[in-house]
Structures are given as C-alpha cells and as structure tokens.
Amino acid sequence: MLRPALVAAALAAAFPAHADSEVDALRAELKELKASYEARLRALEARLEAADAAPAPAPAVDTAQADAPAAPKLNPDISLILQGRYAQLDDIEHRAISGFLPAGHAHETARGFSLDHTELVMSASIDPYFRGYFNLALQDDEVDIEEAWFQTTSLGEGLSIKGGRFLSGLGYQNEQHPHAWDFADNSLMYRALFGEAYGNDGLQLKWVAPTELYMEFGAEAGRGANFPGTDRNRNGAGSYTLFGHLGGDLGVSHSWRAGLSYLHARASAREGELDDVDDVEIETLFSGTSKTWLADFVWKWAPEGNARERNFKFAAEYFRREESGELCGFDGVSSCTAGTDDAYRARQSGFYAQGVYQFMPRWRTGYRYDRLDPGSVDFGANPLSLAKSDYKPTRHSLMLDYAPSEFSRLRLQYSKDQSMAEVSENQWFVQYIHSLGAHGAHKF
C-alpha cells in the first residue's frame, strides 16, 4: 500500500524541476534570436549607409542599347469584318432627307442582297511610344481608307496625341464603325450631319483626367475635306473640333456617360441638291461656314455587373447645326451659274433615342426613334425659287439580333421610314456580321 504513495511523491517532486529547465531553455533561445536579429539589422543599416554614400554604379548594359526601343511585334493584329444584308425596300429612284442638304460619304442603300460594308482592320504597337491602326472599307467597286493613324502611348499625365486619318471623337456613335452599330443602318441624325460619320485628316489631342469621375477632353484640327466642309486646297486647318465627356458608375449595376461636342468647318463650292417650288431638282453650290453642336448621353445597366446574362443600353444624341454663306445654282460646271447666288442661312436640329435590351444570353432586341427638324432656312433673294420645307422627317426602327458567339451576329430589323415628305416606307433588313481574326474591343 505504501509503494503508490511513494511514486506519487516522487513525480510531484520531479515535474516542477523539469518545467523550470524548459522555461530556462526557451528564454535562452529567445535571447539568442534577439541578439542574432539585432546583429543582422546593424549589418543591413551599415550596408545601406555605405550605399547612400557611394557614387551611382555604372549601367550594366551599353547606354545606346538601353535607349533603343524595344523591337516591334512582327505581326499586327489583323481582322476581316464580313458584313452583308438583304434589304426589302421600295423602288425610289433618288433617296434624300427632306429639308436637308445631302451629306457626302453616305453609302447607297441597295435593294435586295448586297455586301453592304466589309472592313479590313490592322493594329499593333509600333514601339514603346506609339501604336498604329488601319481600317480599309470595301463595298463593291469602292475602297475607302476610313482610318489610318498613329497614337502616342507614353506621354503620361493622361495625355495622348493621334495623327493621320481618324474618326472624330465628337458625339457618341461617331467613332463606331458600321459593324458596331446596334441597328442595321445609320440614324437619320448622322445621315443628315455627315452621311455616315465625321472623319478627318489631322491631329487630335486628348486628355483623360486622373480622377475617380471619368473626365475626357479633346481638341482636333484637320483638313476638313469631308461634309459639312470641303477640300479647299489651302494651308492651315479647314475644320476644328472640341469635345468633352464625363462618366462613371452608379453602384455595381449602372454606368453612364454624357458629353458635349462642337465642330466648326468651312465649305467652298460644296455640292448639293434642292427642289424648287415646282419640285424640279436644282443642283447647288454652298460656300461658307458650318457650326455643329452635339450633346450625347449613354446609360448602361447590367445586374451585378454581369452583362453576359442580361443588360440594357440607352443612348441618345441631339444636334444643332447653323450654316451661313452663299448658295448658288450649279449647271454641271465648276462655278455658279451667273445670277443665281445669294445669301444662305440655315438653323436645323434633330435627335435620335434608342434602347437595346439583351433579355437572355446571345439575344437582344431594340427600338430606335429618329426625328429631324428642318428649322429655319433663309435663301435671301436667291432667284432660283428654292422651296422651303417644314416637314419633320421621322423613323421608327425595331430590331432583333442573335449572336452565336462574340464573332458573329445575325439581325432582323423593321423600320417605318418617313424621312421623305409624302413617302411612308416599310423597310425590312436581314443582316449578318462576322469577324475573322483578332479585333480590338469596342468603346463604351
């Protein structure tokens, strides 16, 4: 009976002694580590002080080699846009928007099957300082260089310079090529203003502010050869553009952008067509100035920021254009017919508003409303007896499209077109858009 008691007493006496020795060992180890770290810290501080006091080391590589730009990528991104359609249209010999002088560079709307608008696009970084972009538009027997420009990439502070031929940064839709439109054809507003879009040969300076609110400001100066200007064969700039955009996010599901733009262009003997009071078509030449203001607004919705399932986009633009100068009759020779010229002033406006809803993956539907106002037109004492129009062109468009992938889109569109006085036309379009090769992302 005494042996367990003796064992317990021995253990009780042994454990306190073991615990004390373990604690002492830990204390010694910690003290050693502290000493080691303090020694390493002192050594690093000494090396840092020595490095600060010493002269800068010589570059490890040759200076000329270091300053040389990086070798450009050998192969640019190349893409081919195949865009064709079938158009069910009335047989109208001459299409024009009533009350508006015809804008140039408008692709004709062919009836039946057509290739519509095929594009060849190339882009690449040129070196650490520039990137380049090229867009060639092909349509039957027409080939147009729509864009061919360089842009700086290393100016810093949000600044960039673009030079060459480019689509102006004014408005919202102007920088979009036809394959990026949400409808099979252009809005009446852009048809009246520029035919398709306003492009220029010149320079663009753009600044994006380093702020949480998106702020973009730009200025352009260029040749101004496209409508509403003309090629005047002179030094200096024939047109200039100013634009600014603000934008941001509202929560995770909403984003918006709004902007104001101004275009000033000069025209010399710009060709046009107007009807006289007897409905006889008169060819005209206009020389003077054209000033255009645009306001644009875009709002996008994607639940929880996920646009793959459902999303909605609303876009609207409004313009006001003033032109003043001289207008004369044109008999096919490059000068005014004698005694047919006098002052011309016009103040016109218009807008479009559209909404496009993706109600399920790959499927979208949309509605667009166009309305133009011929405003006030003053022909002065022009003896051509030109007719003034108070008809307000309108159009309603409905579309449904399906995108099997991000590289293909098929579209069906119906439009009730009343852009010509006394003509109410039912238009049907079936369109395909296919993208072959690498193609950059589209803008907001």
pLDDT digits (tens, 9 = 90+) for 37-95: 566 666 666 666 555 555 444 444 444 444 444 555 557 899 999 999 999 999 998 88
Confidence tier at 329 by pLDDT (50, 70, 90) = confident
* Rounded distance between C-alpha atoms, residue 224 and residue 427, angstroms: 34
Q: Give the residue, 438 or 25, on which the prediction is more confident.
A: 438
Give the mean model confidence (pLDDT) for residues 183-210: 95
Residue 324 has pLDDT above 90, yes or no: yes
Residue 138 has pLDDT above 60, yes or no: yes
User: Which backbone phi and psi does 85 adopt, to 5 degrees?
Assistant: -165, 165
Q: For the chain, what is the mean pLDDT?
A: 86
Residue 133 has pLDDT above 70, yes or no: yes
How do residues 298-321 score in pLDDT, each as one tens digit? 999 999 999 999 999 999 999 999
Residue 13 has pLDDT above 60, yes or no: no
pLDDT at 336: 81
Residue 2 has pLDDT above 50, yes or no: no
pLDDT at 11: 45
* Rounded distance between C-alpha atoms, residue 188 and residue 38, angstroms: 77
**Exposed, middle or buried, 330 (CB in 10 Å: 0-12/13-18/19+)?**
buried
Residue 386 has pLDDT above 70, yes or no: yes
Cis peptide before 228 (omega within 30 of 0): yes
Tokens matching residue 129: 């300082």
pLDDT at 38: 67
Picking from 66-70, 211-215, 226-230, 326-330, which range would have the lowest pLDDT averaged per residue? 66-70
Give the mean model confidence (pLDDT) for residues 281-306: 94
Domains along the chain with CATH numbers: 77-437 (2.40.160.10)
Give the mean model confidence (pLDDT) for residues 350-379: 96
Which has the closest alpha carbon to 284: 276, 275, 272?
272
Q: Give the residue, 440 or 148, on which the prediction is more confident.
A: 148
Confidence tier at 281 by pLDDT (50, 70, 90) = confident
Residue 276 has pLDDT above 70, yes or no: yes
Share of the chain above pLDDT 90, in %: 64
* Rounded distance between C-alpha atoms, residue 165 and residue 221, angstroms: 11
Residue 275 has pLDDT above 50, yes or no: yes
Helix/strand/coil (H, E, C) string of the chain? CHHHHHHHHHHHHHHHHHHHHHHHHHHHHHHHHHHHHHHHHHHHHHHHHHHHHCCCCCCCCCHHHHHCCCCCCCCCEEEEEEEEEEEECCCCCCCCCCCCCCCCCCCCCCCEEECCCEEEEEEEEEECCEEEEEEEEEECCEEEEEEEEEEECCCCCCEEEEEEEEECCCCCHHHCCHHHCCCCCCCHHHHHHHCCCCEEEEEEEEEECCCCCEEEEEEEEECCCCCCCCCCCCCCCCEEEEEEEEEEEECCCEEEEEEEEEEEEEEEEEEEEEEECCCCEEEEEEEEEEEEEEEEEEEEECHHHCCCCCEEEEEEEEEEEEEEEEEEEECCCCCECCCCCEEEEEEEEEEEEEEEEEEECCEEEEEEEEEEEEEEEECCCCCCCECCCCCCCEEEEEEEEEEEECCEEEEEEEEEEECCCCCCEEEEEEEEEEEEECCCCCCC
pLDDT at 177: 94
pLDDT at 326: 93
pLDDT at 443: 74
pLDDT at 210: 94
Give the mean model confidence (pLDDT) for residues 324-350: 85
